[in-house]
A and B are shown apart, each in its own frame.
Chain A
């Protein structure tokens, strides 16, 4: 493919760098709004620390509630980085390039909050360090902590590596930035000058990390699934939990990606770079994952439902036509079936609005699904719940729990926004490089080379 005119390249970089350090009115509004929610969450947490977990609705029967559901949700969403960066890379999908940094930011933010949730849920969080001093490596919780920490570090490195050349561009280009920023870019760019050796090293580093991070990502969510599967409770004592969680996570992550890209595209005026082609392809992936997840759901619920063994009867009846029936059928129909139908049609896939709608439904379904995995099961243990105290036989989350839930979701979005303040949303060097290599259609960006072929261009 032809090399880009340096003017055009300059223009692209300027455009993409335009998001860095700039204040947008709507963005400021979002930051303040989300920040307030986070402050509310912190206050709620302090109240919880002082009074004990009794301020939640969790009691001896439902001893895991919203916090653990959120843990599963966040760990699940964090798989998207591995999907976009590694799986798509190995499948040679070139349209992934503009999406990489967004995916890694989502991953980083998600795994950060995933590490928070268990601490929120602990009865004695001041004893967290016992996990290191008195840890038992036979315990899945310890594996979970190690896995989340490992994945977090890996994601930080994987966020940073493609950032190095971009930092070099910023270091060289944005000479009128404040001094502390220039210093930071200079230091973080590691003296990048785009020579052959540095290219080779960077490519090697990214390849190694890509190969390592995919198993780490899968094991993070599988181990979280084992928090459920390693118990003997009816309904949890199932071998499907590992794959069920992983694919549910990939599906939820893809849905979140679509939503975040749609918002960023609109907010940062990146319509050329995040185009309907990306939405179409992500929608195809979402379709495949949602269909597969529906298949897994049929196996997970349909197989025990056919047998109706004594221990599992209570949970299944609760989900199918009991207290949680509305939510269960919502996740299956509105959360899976309808999005599958929508996304099956090319016409809908090519409309960003429809793809976003389907993604919202999938995401809602995924959130509620995490709740349905944990709570109804705990309400139907082997031994019957009898003469229980008030509030012990049901689970109705309290204000504190809802506040903390809202604040963790808000914090998740806020952290993504904050990550894009100092860094460009799209990896400039990769996009320009790949456009040169394969043409803009492959990458999914629009109207770059047409700029090149404009009459003003000297032949």
Chain B
């Protein structure tokens, strides 16, 4: 692609140098319209070295100006609705959670909430205290959205607001959601949340279509963990992974057969699953989740400290 990104917008890259420059400028215009807000203050910044490449941007008072690319901050490639529905090409995201390492600190939840501007009473990734039977040890169970390959939620959505992408992510388009909450009834993992009231909006500008927004909360619509596709597009890990100091959460691309955790340790996915005796939660339901769990063997913390929250307990 002329802009150097693996997206699928239907811009025709003929390979002609002039064309690719035009394409680039066109995309620059699109990106620049959003980025122009950010560059509003940087337009007087003459300390950055000039790159020699010019980009057309629309200023906040409606003028079209040509500025050096170095003056435009955070230049992001244009992502279309089709891109968001199709997913990031060539990737198949997968998560591995090592229950032996999770000590229930909840930093993953806090990191996720910070990234997606969620209040503390919402949890896209939840840390539960589980005990499978009375005589076995309790353990902390980390529960993000499983992004199932046979998702019960997308089957029942009447308007295609929640959909499965080719890169494995199950996304929600809150411009399409009608708020019927059938997906919430259908999800056996209880990972979906609903905006019963008007959420507090952060002061940010989104440059992507709704389904890949950082702030997903819209009154009367459903939201859930999205595997942070806006981070993945930049080659960065989701918030929960970088927020987990115990290296309990691994994230990666199954096509590449590699997953990475907080401190950058990257390992072969197939090796990790085989050595760790990985399993999937509620496998018997046939939802085919994309989150694997490594059983809590040789835990790094003392299980006796875990207090199992009473069923239906309130904070």
Contacts and interface: CB of A to CB of B under 8 A. Distances in A.
Contacts of B186: 230-232
A134 interface: yes
B189 A127 contact: no
Contact of A139 (B182, B198, B221): B182
Contacts of A118: 180
A54 B285 CA distance: 31
B151 to A, nearest CB: 11
B299 interface: no
B185 A233 contact: yes
Contact of A382 (B189, B197, B315): B189
Contacts of B312: 379, 384-385, 388, 393-394
Interface string A382-393: 111111111011
A52 interface: yes
A61 B180 contact: no
Given A54-B196, A138-B155, A393 B180 contact: no
A393 to B, nearest CB: 4
A390 B178 contact: no
A314 B311 contact: yes
Contacts of A389: 121, 314-315
B190 A381 contact: yes
A52 B182 contact: no
A53 interface: yes
Interface in B215-231: 219-222
Interface in A25-65: 51-54, 56, 58-61, 63-64
Contact of A388 (B143, B155, B179, B314): B314
A127 B190 contact: no
Contacts of A387: 309, 313-315
A52 B190 contact: no
A378 interface: yes
Contacts of B182: 139-141, 227
B178 A131 contact: yes
B177 interface: yes
B180 A141 contact: yes
Which range holds the interface residue count of chain B? 35 or more
Contact of B129 (A61, A314, A386): A386
Interface string B104-146: 0000000000000000010000001110000000000001000
B9 interface: no
A142 interface: yes
Contacts of B176: 127, 130, 134
Nearest to B181: A63
A168 B173 CA distance: 55
B197 A61 contact: no
A386 B180 CA distance: 25
A123 B194 contact: yes
A388 B221 contact: no
A52 B177 contact: no
Interface stretch (B19-27, B86-94, B157-165): B157-165
B315 A388 contact: yes
A390 B314 contact: yes
B192 interface: yes
B277 interface: no
Contacts of A382: 188-190, 282
A122 B184 CA distance: 13
A131 B159 contact: yes
A145 B315 CA distance: 39
B195 interface: yes
B121 A384 contact: no
Contacts of B121: 389
A122 B220 contact: yes
Interface in A117-143: 118, 121-125, 127-128, 130-131, 134-136, 138-142
A384 B311 contact: yes
A384 B190 CA distance: 9
Contact of B188 (A56, A63, A122, A381): A381
A54 B197 contact: yes
Most buried by B among A130, A131, A227, A381: A130
Contacts of B128: 383-384, 386
Given A121-B180, A136-B160, A390-B314, A60 B197 contact: no
B152 interface: yes
A237 to B, nearest CB: 9
Contacts of A388: 312-315
A45 to B, nearest CB: 14
B281 to A, nearest CB: 9
Given A379-B312, A383-B143, A386-B309, A53 B179 contact: yes
A142 B143 CA distance: 31
Nearest to B197: A54
Give the residue among A123, A125, A379 with the most B Cβ atoms within 10 A: A123
Interface string A141-159: 1100100000000000000
Q: Across chains A and B, which 7 residue pairs bring their CB atoms closest together, nearest first?
A: A123-B179, A123-B220, A54-B196, A386-B309, A54-B197, A141-B158, A139-B158
Given A53-B220, A393-B314, 14 more contacts: A51-B197, A123-B194, A123-B222, A124-B179, A127-B159, A135-B158, A227-B185, A231-B188, A232-B188, A382-B189, A383-B189, A385-B313, A387-B313, A393-B312
Interface of A: 51-54, 56, 58-61, 63-64, 118, 121-125, 127-128, 130-131, 134-136, 138-142, 145, 227, 230-233, 314, 378-379, 381-390, 392-394
Interface of B: 121, 128-130, 143, 152, 155-160, 176-182, 184-186, 188-190, 192-198, 219-222, 282, 285, 287, 309, 311-315
7 contacts: A123-B220, A136-B160, A139-B155, A141-B182, A378-B185, A387-B313, A390-B315
